[in-house]
Structure formats: C-alpha cells, structure tokens
C-alpha cells in the first residue's frame, strides 16, 4: 500500500508525524523506536531567546483530554539549531521546525535564524501565541495579525511555511483564507482549545497559568469539523491533528481533507503511538476500500 | 533501556489505610534502580500515573510498588487484582547514585507516599554494608506501613502528624534529636517536608526525590520542571533529570 | 445545608436544573422521578412556528461527548404554551423557556407570545442559532447581532432574560459584555461547540446535517474557562453548563463563578442524573469545606 | 413504568458469527412486551445502546437479548460475562399491539439483528393460538441463529445474501413464493429490507420496527425521528412512539 504523501517541501513516506510539543526534539522517543519509521517530525516550538516557560503544575487531566500550559519552554532558536536539531540529521525523516514568538519581529527573527539550519525541511508557524505588543490578543484569532506575521515570515524564510491555526475562533475559514492569501504554503490544524480545570481542594485552577490548552480525543470532533470546512473552501495542503490515537482516526482526518496528520497527546499515553498507527494504517485503509493514502484524502466530503 | 510493557500483577495487597502494595512480574526488574519510577496507564485515563519502585526481587524477576489512593487513577489501581495486567513505562528517571558515593552511614527520611522508594534504597545500602537509619512520617497510625521492614535495615523512627503512633509531629522533630553521624541523607516526600528537611540538614550532603504532575513521563513535554537553585531562570525535568536531585541543586516550592 | 439560590426571577431550592433540549418538556423524566426535586427546568427551544428539525441521524457519539443536530424541532411557541407547559404547572419548580429563531423578528415574536404563559419564570435566549437574514452567521458569534437580539427581546418580554452564549468565539467576555450592556439579566453558558464525525464506511459525516454541537464531559474544561473569564470581568448571574455529570462537577462550576448549573447530556446517560447530583451536593460541598451553595460561588478565583 | 436498573447477566453465549445471546435477571421481565427494547449503558461510552427484547421467561424473571458486534459498544457487551451487571433503562418504546388484533395467521419477516424481537413476538402469537410463518434473512450461513426455535413456532424459511444457507437472496424472494394467507405481517430489519417488504406487501396489514441513532432513548431529545407518510412535515420518535409502527404510518429511508 502506498502511504507516501508529497507536500510543499516535504516528501513523506507516510502521513504520520508527531505533533509539536509532544515529542521534544526526538531524543527521548528515539530510545523507544527507530525514528526512521515516522513520516516527519515536528519539533518543539522555538523562540528568539531561551524561555523558562510557565510555573508548575503545567498539565492536568480532563475527560478524554488534557490541559497544558508549558509556556513555550525552549532553549532558544540558536541553541535548537546547534544543540538539538543535529541529532535528527541521521534519520531519513524530514523535520519541521515550530516557530513561535510574542511579536512579529520575534517570529521573523526565529524564521530568519532557522534559514541556516541544514536539518529542517519546513516551518510550522505557531500563531496561537499571544501578541505582547497587541496586549495579549492571539495572532491566531485575529485575521489581520495572522496575515501580517505569515506574510513577514514567508518573506524571511527559505522554507515552506505551514501556518498552525488556533481553533479558538468563530470562523476557521476566514483565518485559513487570511494566511493562504499572503502565501502560506500549507496549514496545520488544530492547535489546542483554551480550557481550565479547578482543583476543589485548593479552590484554584490546577494549572499554575490558570488556563491551558485542551488536547486529546475530546477535541477530535472540532478538529475534523474545522479541517472539513477549510478543505471545502480552499485547495491547500493541510496537516491535520487533534486527538488522533488510532489508524482509524488518521483515516477520518484524511477523509475530512487532511493531507497528512500529526499525533500529539497520544504519545504520552502510548510512546509507541506513532509507529503503531503507521503499522496499522495500510490494513485500515484497505478495510475501508482505499488503495493508498492519497486515495482517501478529502473523500469524506458529500457533494449535494 | 526505557520501554513499555504489559506486566502481570502477581500480588495485590492493602497494607495500610488506603495504601496498597502491588507486585508485578518483569524481566527488567533487575535493572531497576532505587529512586526510579514507573509510569502506569490507568484504563480510561489520558495521562499515566507515576509510581516509585519500592522493592525489587531480582531472582523472582518482580518489582513492587506502594501507592495510596489519592484520586481516580490510584483508586482504579487499587481495584486491580492478581492476574490483571498493567501497561507500564519503565524504568523512568534518575536514581539515588549510591554506586558513586563514599558511604558509611545513611539517613533515610520519608513522608507518606515518599516512603516506598526509600525502602528499595535502604535494601541496596544495607547490601553494600552501609549503616541505615530511617525516619518515617505518616498522617496517623492507620497509615503506617513497612515499619518492620525498615527496622530490618536499621534503626527506624516513626512520626505521625496526629500523634497516634510514634512521635507526634514531623520527621524533622525526630531528626533534630538524632545524635548520629551521617555521610548522606536521602529524602522523599511532600514538598513542605522536603523543604523542612533540606533546611534542617543544610550542612549535610543529601539527595531528594521530587514529585510533579507529569505528561509524558519521559522528558519530551516539559510538564514536570523544577527551577535550579543557582539559576532559577533554568529548570530541570523531574521525569528525566530527576526525580532524584542533589539536595542543593533545585529550588523547592 | 442551604442549597438555595436567588437569581433574577428565579427562586431556586437548589442550583441544579436540566439543560434545554435534554429534557423535552419534562413529561418523560417525570416517569422516572418527582420533578419537584429539581432547582428549575429549562425546556426545549421554542420557535415562532413548528419546526420539523434536521434529517436523521441527528446524534453521534464522541470521546466523552456527543454531537447533536436536532435542528430545533418543536411544535411552535403557541402549542408549547397551550399543550406542553401546563404539564409542569403542578410542580413547585420554576420553568425557563428557551427562545430561538432565525431572525430578530422571530425571537421577538416568540418572546412576546411567551408573555401570556403563566407557567414560566424566565427566558433563556438561545443565540446560537444561525441568522438566516445575515446569511447564516450565528447571532451568538457576532457581538452586534447578539446585542440587537438581546435588546429587542428584553424590550418585548415581561420575564427576566438569560442569554445563552455560544462557545464558538475567540473572546467570550466580549460577547458577555455585549449582551449585559443592553440589559441581559443573566447569562447561560455554554452552548455546544461545533463539531463533526465522519463515518469511515459511508465516507460521509455521520450526522445528516454534517456538523453538530459537541456536548458532554469533553467540553467541560472549555465551559469552566469561559465562566471563569466572564466572572472575572462581570458581576452578572450565570447559569453554568457543559459536561456536568457529578456533584463534584457542580462545585467546580460554582467555584468558576456559576450561580446555578444545568445538566444536559448526562441525562441521557443516566435519567436520574439531576436528582442524584442534587442528593449528593450537600455532602460534596461540605467535604470541600463549603457551608452552602452561595458560599462556593466564585471561590475558585485566585486574586494576585 | 420505565426505570433504570442494574441487572445481573445470568447467561452469555455466542450463538452465531459475532452474535451473542445475553440473558439477565429482572423483576420487570413479565411486563416486557414484544417489540420493546432496552437501553444499555456501556461503560466508558456517552450514549446508551438500544437492544430489542428477544425473549422473556416470566417464571425465571429473566429476559434475553441477542445482538451482533457492530462497533465498539456491542464489542464491549460481547466481552461481558455471567455475573456481570448491566445498567439498563427498561422497558422502552412501543410494542406489537397483538392484544388488539384479530389474528389467525401471522407472517414474521426478520433480517439480521431484526430477527430477535420477532422471536418473542412469535412466542406470544403462538401462545394466543395464532399460526406463525417466519421468513428470516441473514448475511450467510455462519450468521444464522435461532432457526430451530422459530421452527417450533411454525414454518420457517431462511434466505442468505450469499446463498450459503437456505435460499440465496432476500426475504422478499421467499415471501413472493409463499402462498399463504395472512392477517398481518410483522417485520424488523435494516431499512432497505423494510422498504422492500412494505412495498411487496403494500396490500397487507402489517407492523414494522425501526432503528435510528438515539440520544436519550426515552423521548426527550428528538434524535430518533421518522417522518409520517401522510404528512412528512411531521415526525414521530422511534424510541417513544416506536420502534413499532403501523406499516403505512411512516416514511422509510
Ligand atoms: C516520580 C513520582 C513518584 C511517585 N511515587 C509514588 C508512589 O510510590 N506512591 C504513591 O502513592 N504515589 C506516588 N506518586 C504520586 C502519584 O503519582 C499520584 O498520587 C497519582 O498520580 C495521583 O493520581 P490519581 O489519579 O489518584 O489522582 P488525580 O488527582 O485524579 O490525578 C489527576 C492527575 O494529576 C496527577 N497527579 C495528582 N497528584 C499527583 C502527584 N502528587 N504527583 C504527580 N502527579 C499527580 C495524576 O497523575 C493525574 O495526571 C509519585 C509521583 C511522582 C511524580
Ligand atoms: C430500537 C432498536 C432496537 C435494536 N435492537 C437490536 C438488537 O436486538 N440486536 C442488535 O444487535 N442490534 C439492535 N439494534 C442496533 C444496535 O442498537 C446497534 O447495533 C448498536 O447501537 C451499535 O452500537 P456499537 O457501539 O456497536 O456501534 P458504534 O457504531 O460504535 O456506535 C456509535 C453510536 O451509534 C449508534 N448506532 C450505531 N448503529 C446503530 C443502529 N443500527 N441503531 C441505533 N443506533 C446505532 C450507537 O448506539 C452509538 O450511539 C437496535 C437498534 C434500535 C434503534
Ligand atoms: C504538552 C503539549 C505541548 C504542546 N506544545 C506545542 C508547541 O510548542 N507548539 C505548537 O504549535 N503546538 C503545541 N502543542 C499542540 C499540539 O502540537 C497539537 O496541536 C494539539 O495538542 C492537538 O493534538 P493532539 O490532540 O493530538 O495532542 C502542544 C500540545 C501539548 C499537549
Ligand atoms: C440533544 C441536545 C439538544 C439540545 N437542544 C438545545 C436547545 O434546544 N436549546 C439550547 O439552548 N440548547 C440546546 N442544547 C445544548 C444544551 O442545553 C447544553 O447547553 C449543552 O449540551 C452543554 O451541556 P451538557 O454538556 O451538559 O450537555 C442541546 C444539547 C443536546 C445534547
Ligand atoms: S512529564 Fe514530560 S517532560 Fe517530564
Ligand atoms: S432518542 Fe431521544 S427522543 Fe428518541
């Protein structure tokens, strides 16, 4: 069965890759299995300078999901290029760098700095970060801000840019169109939904940052809906994610219109999640009558 | 090598109030080191539960965990039975580096669910010929466990918060009165206890073991960090760099 | 333990009521238990004329949640007043009517018509319906539309109006402020998040309407976050809902800032959900150190 | 009176490919009527699963359900064992109104998982002295169940889609060749089968039983509606007004 997928800047042997922030920079899970099995790897967010991240607790468990507020902890883009990414060089698996920042300038700086890396194949532009200049409004919930940061990062980068959309919006298609209009090579969706859990004993939010991002199977129906909507409006490559834990989930994302998928939270539950999903994918695809990954993409769309 | 296994429960006992001792079979048992933990999947739950290794039987190829019912996950684990299987990531994290230490006399200081890892540590210390003194704190009499087992390792003192057993008060109240030399102390328990212990024993060398809510348990998600004492703008991961840290390395609380 | 809560137009003996659309007009669950135990009852949406609703399938199951696209099936506001609401008259439990429509005029018509009912105590204004005049944009995702419909319904109605907010927005506080500004007596939150599930065999969305509203424990962290945010910004009565299944959940909503709560999807899983939650509430409240429902409201807020 | 009960499984058998027969104890058994269903909670799932009543033992106070593994919920139900408890809402929905009918000869037409409710119906009809003829359709030989039991009620004809047993084809192929009078037919099965049956037997009086995805199962959520034939702008609830409808009452497909 042909699992290969061709996306801007990415030749994937299969459509399954770990999601940003759920796989570090690859070292830890390389102790569990051969990273060559992966379609690609999206590494943890990079910012201009090193970030400590938020105080702990940073995670909480919810029904079929989890909240996280890691706070973009990372050693900074320079150190990522010199100390983290080279580890992934020997693997025959494209690496996607996740770009974050608090100002347009920081995003551009990160993207420009990443131009010198030999170890990456594409950027994932994480626009779910709050813009400190605009008083914390997320780049990802304001089409004008999203446009601006996408345009400037596209201009600065030598790599294809996949813009990672936030689901915390009324109209995902408007956001998708905004960033595609200014040159996004693809979309990555969805990031987490903002949530909170309150500790009854402590009478306070469990997560020190109060709110956190909701991920996991709980959000899958929202991810599927958003990908379906965007796919109906736009012909653009989509890396789909949000609650994937099985090969059946992958096929559901493909049917909704994703060209490839990322697996996040499931890695924590099962460190072998990605290779197991990849192993089962051919069988599940053929069980539902598909002859390849390409054959399934967008096939869940009903045309009246 | 870290891995994930389905391991069979061969013994499941309640040993104190809401406290359970579970032993599982594992070919990896002999490789587990004191201070390390395992990361257990509880069916129906998104996040695994970290539980320390409380003992290892190399010959039988088994290891033992002791846990207390805290919330839903530990409640479900308490309802398992012999013959059930647990999905476990192991071994996780750092260990008490006793191979590298010059040691004649060790002080173990444990509180509540921080007591279990110290038992396996004490066993290994005793095997090495180290003199072991244990100071253990519990909520109350009904919560006390493994007292005799610790006594077989060396002098053992118990404190309970409510005074229903041993000394009323905290482990630090006992340590203050102890008049014994020590090369190193090893402590595990709730953060307030660790703060009190590390403050009291500020002039001693020691290792402490920390707890934090975890995502991955293997070092990829940055959920479980603790700031460094000498540079609080930096942190380390409790699941990977820890849970055992040199007492002066990390900033508590 | 004092469970009573006093809200505009509503004297509740306890803070727990079934959510709109999850309890019909009360008849069916009255076969299971005495409706007098309930704090209040929110009945199914009323529109100007009878509505057939959407084609089936109308529901699907998701991880810790469900999707529904009932499509506001109801016999029309006149028949609801004459044929449905009188059944609830004998019970010592206030009834809240859920008002829906496709145009501002329809909302106003429903609200005006409900003025003649002797059986209701308040209105819940369901602004999650798509506005047919504005091309399907939801009243509940556009602050200006929300304002307009709230203002006109407030003007038309003799009853206190609780506006039911949609969670499908970037900034829930903006929406809350918009409707409170024009006189909403209270808020009801949250309605469902838009989601989709695709049937792999049929290669099509399971729900005939394609998208459906996601409810159940999966969305609880989002509900808690939104209530917490609105409570921090506004001093307005809030009926909280979204994934409540236990008395502990109720306390979490109270801590987040809800004054009362509604239970939706949980009724389907357990028809006794409401009375069981009410029965356990005193014990759970005292377990966490609260001496009454009022004592717990808003106590999860951390003030720096 | 509709209620919710925890009922003990006293027998759990596989009776055909992926097909299970489960009997539970219930004080309400005697009140259950043919055509009604129960609504079963599958732990870990949000929505209950509707399953028809396939038989009742009034003396033993038990009732039997037969189901096929379709998805996750029925898979989990298939893994239950005798002694386990099921959380069940019962009784749900309408029944075949045989008390009110003048009946000498009844035709039962069932397909797949539509067969089970007809067995309980057939038993009651036989008790009343009605002559029963059964036409049952299955996917293939390995899926056939309860053939002998139906034979004890009267003439029984089997069709399989793949021809591995009985007549190759559909139940309608058999009905066409049947040369017997009937007062009423009673049919349950997949919608395409019901469409074919009601079309073929358009001149006969009959009752059919429908399926739809359900939320509440008790009539509150409006998930499970079917349009009326004489006014498709109106609908009825399958869980409350149905699942049994007069054949000409509802619009199929
Ligand atoms: C390295 C390490 C070793 C541990 N060893 C032991 C042990 O040997 N025996 C023992 O009884 N307990 C031990 N704990 C604590 C144990 O992990 C928690 O009691 C347990 O996770 C609570 O789960 P729950 O489902 O019962 O509680 P819930 O409150 O329902 O859990 C909700 C979430 O919070 C997390 N959580 C809650 N409390 C803690 C905590 N104290 N530490 C980490 N995560 C927490 C859970 O893992 C879960 O993700 C250890 C913790 C760590 C970090
Ligand atoms: C009144 C009635 C009586 C029934 N009697 C029987 C019976 O006696 N034996 C039997 O094997 N089956 C019967 N069914 C069908 C049975 O309910 C479904 O096969 C079952 O719900 C599938 O659940 P699942 O978890 O295996 O499938 P999944 O596809 O995993 O279920 C997902 C969701 O879809 C619903 N669903 C899927 N298929 C159906 C369906 N055909 N009808 C209703 N809901 C569905 C499930 O209930 C669940 O909410 C009956 C259905 C109805 C409505
Ligand atoms: C612990 C954690 C950390 C994350 N960190 C990042 C990040 O740094 N950058 C990013 O774009 N997304 C981040 N995400 C979001 C995931 O990449 C993914 O979009 C989301 O979790 C939904 O997928 P899932 O349900 O499979 O986890 C993080 C998610 C989790 C759970
Ligand atoms: C089947 C179903 C029908 C609903 N119908 C309505 C409705 O008519 N009007 C309304 O305002 N909300 C309706 N809702 C939303 C609920 O009232 C509630 O806001 C939502 O389901 C979240 O609560 P829950 O998670 O407890 O179900 C409906 C929800 C479900 C599941
Ligand atoms: S729990 Fe993920 S890094 Fe420690
Ligand atoms: S399933 Fe709720 S009305 Fe039928």
| Å from CA of B92 to ligand 3 middle | 23
| Ligand positioned closest to the Cα atom of A16 | 3
Q: Whose CA is nearest to atom 21 of ligand 4?
A: C215
- Mutation to test the B interface, candidates A18, A28, A245, most B Cβ within 10 Å: A28
Distance CA(B207)–CA(A41), nearest Å, equals: 36
My answer on whether B197 and B121 are in the same domain is: yes
Residue C172 token pair: 């829930």
Q: Which string of DSSP letters, residue by residue, matches A66-84?
A: EEE-----BS-HHHIIIII
My answer on whether B70 and B157 are in the same domain is: no
Chain A CB contacts of B214 under 8 Å are: 59
Q: Across chain B, how many H-helices and E-strands are there? A: 5, 16
Is D56's C-beta closer than 6 angstroms to any atom of ligand 2?
Answer: no
Q: Do C196 and A256 touch (CB under 8 A)?
A: yes
Distance CA(A240)–CA(A250), nearest Å, equals: 9
| DSSP conformation class of C218 | G
Which residues of chain A from 255 to 274 reach within 8 Å of chain C, CB to CB?
Answer: 255-256
Residue D228 token pair: 């009326």
Best of A16, A18, A21, A265 to mutate for ligand 3, by most ligand atoms within 8 A of CB? A21
Indicate which atom in ligand 5 lies nearest the CA of residue B214. Answer: 1
My answer on whether D197 and D103 are in the same domain is: yes
CB pairs under 8 A between C and D: 96
Question: What percentage of chain D carries pLDDT values higher than 70?
Answer: 100
Q: Are A285 and A4 in contact (CB under 8 A)?
A: no
| Å from CA of D49 to ligand 2 middle | 6
Dihedral angle sign, alpha carbons of residues C248, C252, C257, C261 = negative
- Name the residue among A32, A64, A268 with its Cβ closest to that of B215: A268
Q: What is the pLDDT of residue D136?
A: 95
My answer on whether B66 and B106 are in the same domain is: no
Distance CA(C45)–CA(C33), nearest Å, equals: 23
What value does the mean pLDDT of chain A take?
96
| Å from CA of B49 to ligand 1 middle | 6
Chain C CB contacts of A302 under 8 Å are: 204-205, 210
The three-class DSSP label of residue A205 is: strand
Task: Provide the domain count of chain A.
Answer: 1
Q: Which of A129, A101, A102 is nearest to A213 (CA)?
A: A129
Final residue of a domain: which of B40, B69, B92? Answer: B92
Distance CA(C284)–CA(C302), nearest Å, equals: 21
ipTM of the predicted structure? Answer: 0.96
Q: Are D3 and D218 in contact (CB under 8 A)?
A: no
Q: What is the pLDDT of residue B253?
A: 76
Task: Indicate whether D188 belongs to any domain.
Answer: yes
Task: Indicate whether C259 belongs to any domain.
Answer: yes
Task: Indicate whether A200 belongs to any domain.
Answer: no
Q: What phi and psi, each to the nearest 5 degrees, are found at residue B122? A: -60, -40
Best of B36, B46, B94, B219 to mutate for ligand 5, by most ligand atoms within 8 A of CB? B219
| Ligand positioned closest to the Cα atom of C68 | 4
List, for residues C53-75, the tens digit of each pLDDT value. 999 999 999 999 999 999 999 99
Q: What is the pLDDT of residue B1?
A: 84
Instruction: Determine contact: D250 vs chain C, CB below 8 A.
Output: no
Chain C CB contacts of A225 under 8 Å are: 194-196, 211
Q: What is the pLDDT of residue A138?
A: 84
Question: Which residues is D216 bridged to in the sheet?
Answer: none
Is A199's C-beta closer than 6 angstroms to any atom of ligand 1?
Answer: no
Question: What average pLDDT does range D147-167 have in this prediction?
Answer: 93
Task: Indicate whether D75 belongs to any domain.
Answer: yes
Instruction: Determine contact: B215 vs chain A, CB below 8 A.
Output: yes
Best of A59, A191, A219, A240 to mutate for ligand 3, by most ligand atoms within 8 A of CB? A191
My answer on whether B73 and B169 are in the same domain is: no
Task: Indicate whether B35 belongs to any domain.
Answer: yes
Query: Which one is catalytic: C69, C129, C179, C247?
Result: C129
Indicate which atom in ligand 4 lies nearest the CA of residue C223. Answer: 22
List, for residues D178-237, the tens digit of each pLDDT value. 877 889 999 999 999 999 999 999 999 999 999 999 999 999 999 999 999 999 999 999
Question: What average pLDDT does range A227-255 have in this prediction?
Answer: 98
Question: CB neighbours of B158 closer than 8 A, spacing ≥ 6?
Answer: B136, B137, B138, B144, B147, B165, B166, B167
Nearest residue on chain A to C301, judged by CA atoms?
A204
- Name the residue among A138, A222, A228 with its Cβ closest to that of C193: A222
Query: What range defines the domain where residue C287 resides?
Result: 5-55+72-195+217-296
Question: What average pLDDT does range A230-252 have in this prediction?
Answer: 98
Alpha-carbon distances, residue C303 vs A60, A205, C232, C258, C298 (angstroms) = 21, 12, 10, 17, 11
| Å from CA of C207 to ligand 4 middle | 16
List, for residues B91-111, the tens digit of each pLDDT value. 999 999 988 888 999 999 999
List, for residues A160-170, the tens digit of each pLDDT value. 999 999 999 99
- Name the residue among A138, A170, A225 with its Cβ closest to that of C141: A170
Question: What average pLDDT does range B1-10 have in this prediction?
Answer: 95
Dihedral angle sign, alpha carbons of residues C116, C120, C125, C126 = negative
Which of the pair, A262 or B103, is modelled with greater confidence? A262
Q: Do C53 and D222 touch (CB under 8 A)?
A: yes
Angle between helices C172-181 and C220-233 (to 10 degrees): 50
Is C47's C-beta closer than 6 angstroms to any atom of ligand 4?
Answer: no
What value does the mean pLDDT of chain B take?
94
| Å from CA of A99 to ligand 5 middle | 21
My answer on whether D35 and D76 are in the same domain is: yes
Question: CB neighbours of C130 closer than 8 A, spacing ≥ 6?
Answer: C102, C136, C137, C138, C139
Is D73's C-beta closer than 6 angstroms to any atom of ligand 2?
Answer: yes
- Mutation to test the D interface, candidates C32, C268, C275, most D Cβ within 10 Å: C268
Task: Indicate whether B105 belongs to any domain.
Answer: yes
What is the domain-level CATH number for residue C146? 3.20.20.70
Indicate which atom in ligand 4 lies nearest the CA of residue C164. Answer: 11
| DSSP conformation class of B100 | G
Q: Is the pLDDT of residue B190 over 70?
A: yes
Q: Please list the ranges in chain C whose pLDDT falls under 70.
A: 135-136, 304
| DSSP conformation class of A162 | E
Alpha helices per DSSP H over A25-142: 27-30, 77-79, 104-114
Indicate which atom in ligand 3 lies nearest the CA of residue A59. Answer: 1
Distance CA(B78)–CA(A28), nearest Å, equals: 30
Task: Indicate whether A203 belongs to any domain.
Answer: no
What is the domain-level CATH number for residue D60? 2.40.30.10
Q: What phi and psi, each to the nearest 5 degrees, are found at residue D92? A: -115, 140
List, for residues A163-189, the tens digit of each pLDDT value. 999 999 999 999 999 999 999 999 999
Q: What is the pLDDT of residue A304?
A: 55
Q: Is the pLDDT of residue B180 over 90?
A: no
My answer on whether D129 and D197 are in the same domain is: yes
Q: What is the pLDDT of residue C265?
A: 98
Task: Indicate whether A132 belongs to any domain.
Answer: yes
Q: Do A62 and B212 touch (CB under 8 A)?
A: no
Chain A CB contacts of B4 under 8 Å are: 32, 270-272
Q: Do C222 and A214 touch (CB under 8 A)?
A: yes
Residue B176: pLDDT band (50, 70, 90) is confident
Q: In b/e form, how buried is each residue of D139-178, taking b as 16+ CB within 10 angstroms?
A: beeebbbbbeebeebbebbbbbeeeebbbeebbbbbbeee
Query: What range defines the domain where residue B29 resides?
Result: 3-92
Task: Indicate whether C138 belongs to any domain.
Answer: yes
Task: Indicate whether C67 belongs to any domain.
Answer: no
The three-class DSSP label of residue C67 is: strand
Nearest residue on chain D to C66, judged by CA atoms?
D46
Is A239's C-beta closer than 6 angstroms to any atom of ligand 3?
Answer: no
Distance CA(B167)–CA(A220), nearest Å, equals: 53
Is A56's C-beta closer than 6 angstroms to any atom of ligand 1?
Answer: no
Question: CB neighbours of C43 closer than 8 A, spacing ≥ 6?
Answer: C20, C23, C24, C25, C26, C80, C84, C85, C88, C95, C96, C97, C98
Task: Indicate whether B84 belongs to any domain.
Answer: yes
Chain C CB contacts of A67 under 8 Å are: 221
Task: Indicate whether B161 belongs to any domain.
Answer: yes
Q: Whose CA is nearest to atom 21 of ligand 3?
A: A215
Question: B: neighbours with 3+ CB pairs under 8 Å?
Answer: A
Q: Which of A250, A299, A300 is nearest to A274 (CA)?
A: A250
Q: What is the pLDDT of residue C304?
A: 55
Distance CA(C24)–CA(C46), nearest Å, equals: 11
Residue A77 token pair: 């883009």
Instruction: Determine contact: B69 vs chain A, CB below 8 A.
Output: no
Instruction: Determine contact: C66 vs chain D, CB below 8 A.
Output: yes
Q: What is the pLDDT of residue D182?
A: 87
Task: Indicate whether C304 belongs to any domain.
Answer: no
Q: Is the pLDDT of residue B179 over 90?
A: no
What is the domain-level CATH number for residue D195? 3.40.50.80
Q: What is the pLDDT of residue A248?
A: 98
Q: Which of A280-289, C196-205, D167-176 has the lowest mean pLDDT?
A: D167-176
Final residue of a domain: which of B53, B75, B92? Answer: B92
My answer on whether D80 and D147 are in the same domain is: no
Q: Would residue A129 show up in a list of annotated catalytic residues for this protein? A: yes
Q: Is the pLDDT of residue D129 over 70?
A: yes
Q: Which of C98, C87, C192, C101 is nearest to C139 (CA)?
A: C101
Q: Which of D6, A233, A50, C23 is nearest to B235 (CA)?
A: A50
CA dihedral of residues D134, D136, D141, D147 (deg, nearest 10)? -30
List, for residues D117-126, the tens digit of each pLDDT value. 999 999 999 9
Task: Indicate whether A206 belongs to any domain.
Answer: no
Which residue has 């007069």 as its token pair?
D246
List, for residues C274-301, the tens digit of each pLDDT value. 999 999 999 999 999 999 999 999 999 9
Task: Provide the domain count of chain B.
Answer: 2
My answer on whether B117 and B82 are in the same domain is: no
Query: Which one is catalytic: A129, A219, A258, A297?
Result: A129
Final residue of a domain: which of D56, D74, D92? Answer: D92
Which residues of chain C from 181 to 210 reach within 8 Å of chain A, CB to CB?
Answer: 193-198, 200-201, 203-205, 210
List, for residues C171-206, the tens digit of each pLDDT value. 999 999 999 999 999 999 999 999 999 999 999 999
List, for residues A125-162, the tens digit of each pLDDT value. 999 877 777 766 789 999 999 999 999 999 999 999 99
Instruction: Determine contact: C175 vs chain A, CB below 8 A.
Output: no
């Amino acid at each position: 069965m042909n699992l290969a997928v061709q996306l801007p800047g990415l030749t994937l042997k299969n459509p399954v890759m770990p999601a940003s922030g759920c796989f570090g920079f690859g070292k830890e899970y390389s102790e569990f299995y051969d990273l060559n099995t992966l379609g690609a790897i999206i590494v943890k967010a990079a910012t201009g300078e090193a970030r400590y991240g938020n105080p702990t607790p940073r995670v909480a468990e919810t029904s079929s999901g989890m909240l996280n507020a890691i706070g973009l902890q990372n050693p900074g883009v320079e150190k990522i290029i010199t100390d983290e990414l080279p580890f992934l060089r020997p693997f025959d698996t494209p690496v996607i760098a996740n770009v974050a920042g608090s100002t347009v300038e920081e995003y551009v700086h990160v993207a420009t700095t990443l131009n010198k890396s030999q170890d990456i194949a594409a950027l994932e532009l994480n626009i779910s970060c709050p813009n400190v200049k605009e008083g914390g409004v997320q780049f990802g919930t304001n089409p004008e801000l999203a446009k601006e940061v996408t345009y400037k990062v596209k201009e600065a980068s030598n790599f294809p840019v996949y813009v990672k959309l936030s689901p915390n919006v009324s109209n995902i298609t408007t956001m998708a169109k905004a960033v595609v209009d200014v040159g996004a090579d693809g979309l990555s969706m969805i990031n987490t939904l903002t949530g909170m859990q309150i500790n009854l004993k402590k009478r306070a939010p469990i997560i020190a940052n109060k709110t956190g991002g909701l991920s996991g199977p709980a959000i899958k129906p929202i991810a599927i809906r958003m990908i379906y909507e965007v796919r109906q409006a736009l012909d653009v490559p989509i890396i789909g994610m949000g609650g994937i834990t099985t090969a059946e989930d992958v096929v559901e994302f493909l049917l909704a219109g994703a060209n490839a998928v990322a697996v996040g939270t499931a890695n924590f539950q099962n460190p072998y999640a990605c290779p197991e999903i990849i192993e089962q994918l051919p069988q599940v695809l053929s069980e539902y009558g598909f002859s390849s990954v390409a054959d399934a993409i967008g096939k869940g769309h009903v045309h009246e | 090598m870290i891995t994930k296994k389905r391991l069979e429960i061969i013994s499941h006992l309640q040993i104190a109030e809401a406290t359970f001792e579970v032993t599982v079979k594992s070919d990896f048992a002999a490789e587990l080191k004191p201070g390390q933990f395992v990361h257990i999947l509880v069916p129906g739950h998104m996040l695994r539960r970290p539980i320390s290794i409380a003992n290892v039987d190399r010959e039988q190829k088994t290891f033992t965990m002791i846990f207390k019912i805290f919330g839903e996950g530990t409640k479900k684990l308490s309802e398992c039975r012999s013959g059930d299987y647990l999905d476990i990531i192991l071994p996780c994290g750092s260990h008490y580096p006793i191979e590298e230490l010059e040691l004649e006399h060790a002080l173990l200081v444990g509180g509540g669910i921080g007591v279990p890892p110290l038992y396996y540590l004490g066993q290994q210390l005793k095997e090495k010929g180290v003199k072991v003194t244990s100071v253990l704190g519990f909520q109350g009499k009904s919560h006390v466990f493994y007292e005799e087992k610790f006594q077989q390792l060396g002098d053992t003192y118990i404190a309970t918060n409510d005074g229903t057993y041993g000394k009323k008060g905290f482990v630090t109240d006992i340590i203050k009165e102890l008049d014994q030399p020590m090369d190193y102390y090893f402590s595990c328990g709730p953060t307030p206890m660790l703060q009190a212990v590390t403050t009291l024993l500020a002039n001693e060398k020691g290792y402490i073991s920390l707890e934090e809510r975890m995502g991955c348990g293997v070092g990829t998600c940055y959920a479980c960090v603790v700031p460094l004492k000498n540079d609080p703008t930096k942190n380390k991961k409790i699941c990977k760099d820890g849970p055992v840290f040199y007492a002066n390395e990390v900033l508590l609380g």
